[in-house]
C-alpha cells in the first residue's frame, strides 16, 4: 500500500524544507517500512502556524452548524478508511491490526460528539441586580492551537485534541510521534475531502525538536501534549517562557488495581491480564500495580500466571488478524523495558512468568508478572510502559488506599469488589483522575480524561475537554445611560 510521507500544510502535501527525514522499522520483524518520513524544520513549523493563523477568523466566523457538518463528514471518512488507517498504525508501532481497526472507530465517535457542540457554545447573562450593570459572559476560541501526540493510540489522541478545538472555532497544528507518523500523515486527504478550509488543520512529523518549536512558538495560543512526565515539564517551561500559552498535559501513570477479598477473581484476572496487555501494556492508564488482599493472593497470583502464559501464545506479527498481542513500538522502547526487567532481577524481585525477550526478530517481550512487597523497587514505582505488571499484597482497606496513593502519579485506579458501598468509598479516597470499578478503565466520549499530581494538568474528553479550548470574556453594560 502507498505511504504518505510528506507534511500537510494549508491543505497541501509538502516535503520538508531541509530534506531531513526519519525512518520507521517494523517492530514485528525489523524490516524497513519507510526512510522518507519528512521532518518539519523551523521554517515548516512557521509556515503551518501562519496558515492556521490566517484561517482562524474565517473558521471562527463559519456558522456552527457548518463547522459541525464538516466534522461529521470527517468522522465518516475515518470510518470509511478504517482498515487503511489501522494498517498504517500497525505497520509503524506494532498495534495488532484487530485492535487498531477498532481504535479508528472510537475517534470517529469523538469527532461526532464534539461536532454536536459546534452550534451550542452558549454564554451566560446576569441582570443588573442592584449594580446597574447588565452582564454577559461570552466563550470564545483561543486562536491557533497545537497538539503533540504520543505514539500508542494516535487516532484517539489526535481526536481528543483537534475535535474540541475545531468545534470551538480554533485552528490547529498537530504533530505525530516519530514512532507512529504514518496514519496521521494520511489524514490530509480526508481533511480536504471533508471540506475543511486551507489552514484549519495542519499536520507535521518529526521528533522532540519539532514539538519544542511548537511549545515555544509565539503565535500558538494553546498546546496539548500527551507523553512522558519529563517531556511534559519541558513543554510547560517552553510555553511559559514564550507567550504564556495555555497548556494541557496528559502524562505518565503508575495506576493501581485494588483486588479485595470479595472480588470476582475470574473477572479481576481478565481485566488485569488480557485487558492490561491489549497494547502490550503501552497504555498510560493501564493498572501496572496490582494490589491484592492477602487472603486471596495465592489463588489470584496463580490465575494471573496462567493468564499471562496463555497471552504469550497470542503474540505475533501485528499485521496478522490472528494476532492478539503485538510487539513494543520500537527498539528504543524494547530496550527500556528490558532494562527494567534486568534491574528487577538484580534487585531480587521475583519473576513469576515472562521477564525476557520473545523470538529473535522484532521487539517482543514476553508478558511478565513480577511479585514484590518492596514499595521502593524501581519496577514498582516507575512507569514501564510494557507488558509488565507487579503484584503486591495488602492487609485491609486502609492499607490498600495508602499503597495505591503512594506514587507521584495519579492518572487512574481500578477497584475490584462485590461491595458497591466499599467501591464508592474507596474511589472517593483515591488520588486519581479516573477510577473504574470491576473493570479496567476505558475512556468515554462523555467523560473527562486526565490525572492528578504528576500525571498532568487539564482534561481531554467530555465537556471538560471542550472548555480547554475556550476562554471567557466578561461584558458589562451600564443600564443607567439615558434615564
Tell me which residue has cell 515539564.
Answer: 233
Q: Give catalytic status of residue 250 as yes or no.
A: yes
Residues 63, 106: Cα–Cα separation, whole Å: 26
What residues contact 454, with CB distance under 8 A and at least 6 apart?
Answer: 229, 251, 252, 408, 409, 410
Enumerate the β-bridge partners of residue 24: 34
- Rounded-to-integer distance, Cα 364 and Cα 312, Å: 10
Task: Show Cβ contacts of residue 212 under 8 Å, excluding neighbours closer than 6 positions.
Answer: 234, 238
Helices (H), ranges, 430-483: 462-467
Return the HEC string of 168-217: CCCEEEEECCCCCCHHHHCHHHHHHHHCCCCCCEEEECCCHHHHHHHHCC
Q: Is the distance from CB of 302 to CB of 266 less than 8 angstroms?
A: no
Alpha-helical (H) ranges within 366-436 are 378-381, 397-405, 420-429
* CA atoms of 392 and 126, how far apart (whole Å): 55
What secondary structure letter does DSSP report for 389?
Answer: E
Candidates 250, 383, 460, 468; catalytic one: 250
Residue 28 and residue 360 in contact, taking contact as beta carbons nearer than 8 Å? no
Helices (H) then strands (E): counts for the chain:
16, 20
Tell me how far apart the alpha carbons of residues 216 and 228 are, in angstroms, rounded to a whole number.
18
What is the grid cell recorded at 229? 512526565
Sign of CA dihedral 291, 297, 299, 305: positive
DSSP letter (8 states) at residue 398:
H
Through-space distance between the first and last CA atoms of the chain, rounded to whole angstroms: 74
**Residue 109, helix vs strand vs coil:** helix
Phi, psi of 186 (to 5 degrees): -75, -10
How far is Cα 171 from Cα 188, in angstroms, rounded to an integer?
Answer: 15
- Residues marked active site are found at 250
Amino acid at each position: 500500500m502507498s505511504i504518505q510521507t510528506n507534511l500537510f500544510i494549508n491543505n497541501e502535501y509538502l516535503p520538508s524544507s531541509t530534506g531531513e527525514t526519519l525512518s520507521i522499522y517494523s517492530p514485528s520483524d525489523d524490516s524497513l517500512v519507510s526512510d522518507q518520513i519528512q521532518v518539519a524544520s523551523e521554517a515548516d513549523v512557521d509556515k503551518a502556524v501562519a496558515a492556521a493563523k490566517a484561517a482562524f477568523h474565517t473558521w471562527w466566523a463559519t456558522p456552527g452548524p457548518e463547522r459541525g457538518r464538516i466534522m461529521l463528514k470527517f468522522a465518516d471518512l475515518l470510518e470509511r478508511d478504517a482498515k487503511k488507517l489501522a494498517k498504517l498504525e500497525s505497520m509503524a508501532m506494532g498495534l495488532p491490526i484487530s485492535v487498531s481497526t477498532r481504535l479508528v472507530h472510537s475517534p470517529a465517535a469523538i469527532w461526532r460528539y464534539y461536532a454536536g457542540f459546534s452550534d451550542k457554545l452558549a454564554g451566560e447573562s446576569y441582570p443588573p441586580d442592584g449594580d446597574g450593570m447588565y452582564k454577559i459572559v461570552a466563550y470564545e476560541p483561543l486562536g491557533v492551537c497545537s497538539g503533540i501526540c504520543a505514539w500508542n493510540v494516535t487516532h484517539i489522541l489526535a481526536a481528543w485534541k483537534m475535535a474540541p478545538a475545531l468545534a470551538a472555532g480554533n485552528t490547529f497544528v498537530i504533530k505525530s510521534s516519530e514512532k507512529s507518523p504514518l496514519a496521521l500523515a494520511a489524514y490530509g486527504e480526508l481533511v480536504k475531502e471533508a471540506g475543511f478550509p486551507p489552514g484549519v488543520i495542519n499536520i507535521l512529523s518529526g521528533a522532540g525538536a519539532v514539538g519544542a518549536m511548537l511549545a515555544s512558538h509565539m503565535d500558538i495560543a494553546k498546546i496539548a501534549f500527551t507523553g512522558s512526565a519529563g517531556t511534559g515539564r519541558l513543554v510547560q517551561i517552553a510555553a511559559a517562557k514564550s507567550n504564556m500559552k495555555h497548556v494541557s498535559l496528559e502524562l505518565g501513570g503508575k495506576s493501581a488495581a485494588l483486588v479485595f477479598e470479595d472480588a470476582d477473581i475470574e473477572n479481576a484476572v481478565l481485566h488485569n491480564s488480557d485487558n492490561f496487555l491489549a497494547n502490550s501494556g503501552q497504555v498510560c492508564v493501564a493498572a501496572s500495580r496490582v494490589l491484592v488482599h492477602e487472603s486471596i493472593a495465592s489463588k489470584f497470583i496463580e490465575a494471573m500466571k496462567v493468564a499471562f502464559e496463555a497471552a504469550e501464545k497470542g503474540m505475533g506479527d501485528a499485521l496478522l488478524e490472528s494476532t492478539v498481542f503485538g510487539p513494543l513500538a520500537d527498539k528504543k522502547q524494547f530496550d527500556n523495558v528490558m532494562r527494567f526487567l534486568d534491574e528487577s532481577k538484580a534487585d531480587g524481585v521475583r519473576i513469576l512468568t515472562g521477564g525476557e525477550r520473545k523470538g529473535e526478530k522484532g521487539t517482543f517481550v514476553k508478558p511478565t508478572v513480577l511479585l514484590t512487597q518492596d514499595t521502593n523497587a524501581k519496577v514498582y514505582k516507575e512507569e514501564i510502559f510494557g507488558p509488565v505488571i507487579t503484584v503486591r499484597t495488602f492487609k485491609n482497606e486502609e492499607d490498600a488506599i495508602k499503597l495505591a496513593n503512594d506514587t507521584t502519579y495519579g492518572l487512574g485506579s481500578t477497584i475490584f469488589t462485590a461491595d458497591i458501598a466499599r467501591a464508592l468509598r474507596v474511589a472517593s479516597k483515591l488520588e486519581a483522575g479516573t477510577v473504574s470499578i470491576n473493570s479496567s478503565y476505558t475512556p468515554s466520549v462523555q467523560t473527562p480524561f486526565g490525572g492528578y499530581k504528576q500525571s498532568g494538568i487539564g482534561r481531554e474528553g467530555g465537556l471538560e475537554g471542550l472548555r480547554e479550548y475556550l476562554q471567557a470574556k466578561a461584558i458589562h453594560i451600564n443600564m443607567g445611560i439615558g434615564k
